[in-house]
Amino acid sequence: MADRKTPMQDGDLIPLPVAAGTLIEAGKMVAVNASGYAVEAADSPGLKVMGRADMRADNSGGQNGDLLVTACRKMAFKYRNSSTHAVGLSGVGSSVYVEDDETVAATGGTNSIVAGRCIGIESDGVWVEIQ
C-alpha cells in the first residue's frame, strides 16, 4: 500500500455547467437536470436541487456547458412560503418541496422535487437547508 495524494475541492461552492438556452438568476434555487446541466429549480421531472445561485448566469444564447454557475450549498437560505401549500411550524425538520425557483411548499407537486430540509419559519419565508 502507498500513500495517495487525493485531489479535493470545496463542497460549499460548486461550479455547475449551465443548460443550453437557460438563464439562472442570482439567489434562485439551482437544480441539475437528468443530463447534469444546471437550470433554475422547478417542479419538473428528474431535477435535483444543488443549492442557491451565487451569481447570475445567462446562457440563453449558448449551448450546454458554455457557461458555469456557482451553486452555494451546505447552508440555509430563506425562500418564499407557498400560498397554497404553506410550510407550517410542524414542518420544521421535514423535507420541503420546490414550487418554483424561489418558493417552497409543505407537499410535493406533480414531481415532488425536494428543495431541502426546513429549519425555521418566519413571517416572510422558510429557512431551507440545502445539502
Within-domain flag for 25: yes
Closest listed residue to residue 103, CA positions, set 128, 123, 120, 76:
128
What is the per-residue pLDDT for 1? 85
pLDDT category of residue 10 using cuts at 50, 70 and 90: confident
Instruction: Compute the C-alpha angle 117/32/80, nearest 5°.
Output: 40
State yes or no: pLDDT of 46 exceeds 90: yes
pLDDT tens for each residue of 20-41: 999 999 999 999 999 999 999 9
Within-domain flag for 64: yes
* Domain match, 39 and 56 both: yes
pLDDT category of residue 48 using cuts at 50, 70 and 90: very high
Task: Kindly report the pTM of this predicted structure.
Answer: 0.91
* Domain match, 18 and 67 both: yes
What is the per-residue pLDDT for 8? 87
The total number of structural domains in the chain stands at: 2
10: CB partners within 8 A, 6+ apart: none
* Domain match, 55 and 28 both: yes
Q: Count CB atoms within 10 A of the CB of residue 31.
A: 25
State yes or no: pLDDT of 128 exceeds 90: yes
* Domain match, 100 and 61 both: no
Domain that holds residue 47: 13-72
pLDDT tens for each residue of 61-111: 999 999 999 999 999 999 999 999 999 999 999 999 999 999 999 999 999
Q: Quick one: three-class SS letters along 54-67?
A: CCCEEECCCCCCCC
What is the per-residue pLDDT for 63? 98
Within-domain flag for 5: no
